Amino acid sequence: MSQGDVANTGQVVFAIEAFKRIHPVEFQRRFLSQETRHNGRGFSQFRATHVTKGTISTAQGSSTVRIGNTTVVCGIKAEVSEPDVKAPNEGYLVTNVDLSPMCSAHFRPGAPGETAQVSSEHLHRLFKGNVVDPESLCIEAGQAVWVLSADIVFVKYDGNVLDAAVIALTAALEDLQLPKAVFDSETGVVSADRTMGQGLTLRKRLFPATFSLIDGVYLVADADDAEEQLATATVLVVLDDNGHLVNIWKRGAGNISRETISRCVDDAGVRKATLTKELQDNTQKS
């Protein structure tokens, strides 16, 4: 287009990358108003999710989950500790989400940021009691219990922390092999036999689905980083094996009606089916 054309039509021509950077909201709006998304997905389409269990041989339980360009590794370390006096036969589950500058420029080095802390806490709230029975982690009441330290480390970040973290932790817990531990009441020492591992019985598995509201109107499933930056509200729906709800968490502004939330729950059900398959197909690859 020549200079004259620009002046006549009053339009300015941008390279697409420049447009994306200069006016990200308008860039996304152009796609969304056409019932599509900049990454080519439909509004309720999730990215392909890949789950691999047992990716870290030195951890008692581990998994790697890829949701599009988001990659997360989860490792669970089991250690023996004394129980809390208030709950003598309950073990602990400690969750820690790590979003370092390695995975995205949004995060800064140093102490965990708000996203990391909030995600860690939310995971803990979802899994403790609901998924892991604290009493199943008891070795000897009042003397010794298992502490499961789950580290969820993001390697590549392209949106949707919570979905990735929930799937990774679910897979890692399924992969978990606890050594057979025996408490010697005379010496007060716990001896663990690493060769005799046994899995942990989970009460249920969790299947998350996140939806983001962009520009106050468009509700998209599984937003990537560029979309997430513009989202004003998010809805997280977590289902269990029986199709019961475990969590509905709507945050931020924007009118998400009751009908929309029930539509999200339906979409989460569809995703659950694909995730169930993914979790089963990839058992014990290592």
Partner 1 sequence: MTRPDRREATQIRALHCALGQLSRVDGSAQFSLGDTSVLCGVYGPVDVKIYDEKLDRAHIEVKFRPDIGVPTTKDKWTESAVRQTFEQLILGQLHPRTLVQINIQVRQADGAVDAAAINAATMALVDAAIPLHSIVGAATCAVLESGAVVVDPTQEEVEQARSIHTLAFENKTTGSPAYVDSRGDFTMDEYNRCYDLCATSVERVLAFMRSAIESKVSKESKLSTT
HSE-CB of 222 using CA atoms within 13 angstroms = 22
Least separation in angstroms between CB 284 and partner 1: 29
- Within residues 117-136, the interface with partner 1 by CB under 8 A covers 117-118, 120-122, 125-126, 130
Which one of 13, 217, 245, 270 is in contact with partner 1 (CB under 8 A)? 245
Least separation in angstroms between CB 126 and partner 1: 7
Which one of 9, 33, 191, 262 is in contact with partner 1 (CB under 8 A)? 262
Which one of 256, 267, 271, 272 is in contact with partner 1 (CB under 8 A)? 256
- CA dist 67 to 54, 194, 215, 231, Å? 18, 33, 24, 19
Least separation in angstroms between CB 216 and partner 1: 9
Rule CB under 8 A: say whether 255 interacts with partner 1: yes
Rule CB under 8 A: say whether 252 interacts with partner 1: yes
Least separation in angstroms between CB 111 and partner 1: 11
Q: Among residues 142 and 216, whose Cβ is nearest to partner 1? A: 216
Rule CB under 8 A: say whether 274 interacts with partner 1: no
Which one of 23, 106, 194, 251 is in contact with partner 1 (CB under 8 A)? 251
Q: Among residues 45 and 96, whose Cβ is nearest to partner 1? A: 96
Q: How many residues bind partner 1 (CB under 8 A)?
A: 31
Which one of 38, 77, 250, 263 is in contact with partner 1 (CB under 8 A)? 250
Rule CB under 8 A: say whether 261 interacts with partner 1: yes
- What is the secondary structure of the chain as a DSSP string? --HHHHHHH------HHHHHHH-HHHHHHHHHTTT--TTS--TTPPPPEEEEE---TTSSEEEEEEETTEEEEEEEEEEEEPPPTTSTT--EEEEEEE--TTT-TTS-SSS--HHHHHHHHHHHHHHBTTTB-GGGGEEETTTEEEEEEEEEEEEE--S-HHHHHHHHHHHHHHH-EEEEEEEETTTTEEEEEEEEEEEPPPS---EEEEEEEETTTEEEES--HHHHHHEEEEEEEEE-TTS-EEEEEEEESS---HHHHHHHHHHHHHHHHHHHHHHHHTSS--
Which one of 45, 240, 263, 278 is in contact with partner 1 (CB under 8 A)? 240
- Supply 27's token pair: 């860039």
Binding residues (CB under 8 A) for partner 1: these are: 114, 117-118, 120-122, 125-126, 130, 232, 235, 240, 244-258, 260-262, 265
